[in-house]
Amino acid sequence: MGAAKRSLMRYRLIDEILTRKSKPYPSLVEIIDYVNDQLLGLFDDVMVSRRTIQNDLRDMRESAELGFYAPIEYHSARKGYYYSEPDYSINKLPLKNEERQVIEFVANMLARYENIPMFSNFKHITQKIFDSLNIHSAIENDQLLTAAIQFDSTPAAKGNQWLATASEAIRHYRKLQIAYSPFGSNQVNTRIFHPYILKEFRGRWYLIGVSENAGEVRTYALDRIEEMELLDVHYPLEESFDRQKYFEYSFGIYNLSHEEPEEVLLQFELQQGYYILSRPIHPTQELVSQGDNEIIVRLKLYISEDFIMEILSFGDRVEVQKPDSLRTEVVQRLMQAQKKYLKK
């Protein structure tokens, strides 16, 4: 554990003993013993020293970097330390105005998910946070801001009711039994599933993991799941399944690991190029060149249907320079689209 995290743990332990009602005014020795008792077994190095705690008390009082400015005083008659402000705690720090605004804005931004069952108690939770910090949701109570700050909204997707169950299964490595209806089929299949990843893409949620029936990794759209049951059976962790890297070269939800990721060169007209630079298409994107009329970027990813559709969405503002196979596919798609509009 890093030094900064260790220091933070000590600050919180000191705060705990200073706010303890059962035995107020702890002495320096009592603070040292309490901190060492709580940290016992967490570290292999030496015990926390007298000098360390003295420095911690000073930093909690004076450090501008910490920003606690804790009102720690020494009571000479009781021979112990205390907070001169009875209700003070580093867990009840006053917020600056800009910090309040950030919390209020984020809370209201996340409130757009309140129709998802998993987040149905979100407003109740945020109200608890507001109460503990002694703030209120200014955006929610200000009609002007309510109308002026607008978020993109999409209809609530079918299948969101499975988010909580799927999350629980992932967290505890428990198997799921799902009844799934593939796209374009009315048949419902029952699967025993080892879930590893929940991924949202363009308003839809997907569950990625290992299907016992198929014996391989599969992706299931939550809106195609008819039933889901959390089984009281754990599945073994597949160490070769790397959650962090699974979508490294993917655009969208499909991992085409049976293929090699390809280098893609895209030439954008200047104005569209500026937008692409400010909001990259993919994490692997890098600038190749920038001229008076165009911007060229390089990407490394799997050529999926989702990616082809993304390129087509730019219309005449993009040209695929590489690879030739992708360029040919895009040309064919554009020609087919043109034929539909030129029909007599």
Average pLDDT over the chain, rounded to whole? 84
* Confidence class for position 282, pLDDT limits 50, 70, 90: very high
Given a cut of 50, is residue 15 above it in pLDDT?
Answer: yes
Separation between Cα atoms, residue 325 and residue 100, nearest integer Å:
52
156 close to 116: Cβ distance less than 8 angstroms: yes
Which of 105-119, 130-144, 219-233, 303-317 is the least confident region? 130-144
Residue found by looking up tokens 């087919």 in the block? 336
pLDDT of residue 138: 46
- What average pLDDT does range 32-56 have in this prediction? 84
DSSP codes of every residue in 202-239: TTEEEEEEEETTTTEEEEEEGGGEEEEEEEEEE----T
Long-range contacts at 188-191 (CB < 8 A, ≥ 24 apart): 188/226, 189/213, 191/218, 191/220
Given a cut of 60, is residue 209 above it in pLDDT?
Answer: yes
Given a cut of 70, is residue 93 above it in pLDDT?
Answer: no
Separation between Cα atoms, residue 35 and residue 14, nearest integer Å:
7
pLDDT of residue 118: 59
Separation between Cα atoms, residue 344 and residue 328, nearest integer Å:
26
Give, as one character, the DSSP assignment of residue 119. G
The proportion of the chain whose per-residue pLDDT surpasses 70, expressed as a percent, equals 78
| 99-122 tens-digit pLDDT | 666 666 666 666 666 666 656 555
304 close to 254: Cβ distance less than 8 angstroms: yes
Closest by Cα among 152, 120, 123 to 137: 123
Give, as one character, the DSSP assignment of residue 180. E
Joined tokens for residue 14:
């000191």
Cβ count near 142 (within 10 Å): 13
Separation between Cα atoms, residue 174 and residue 257, nearest integer Å:
25
- What average pLDDT does range 76-87 have in this prediction? 93
pLDDT of residue 123: 58
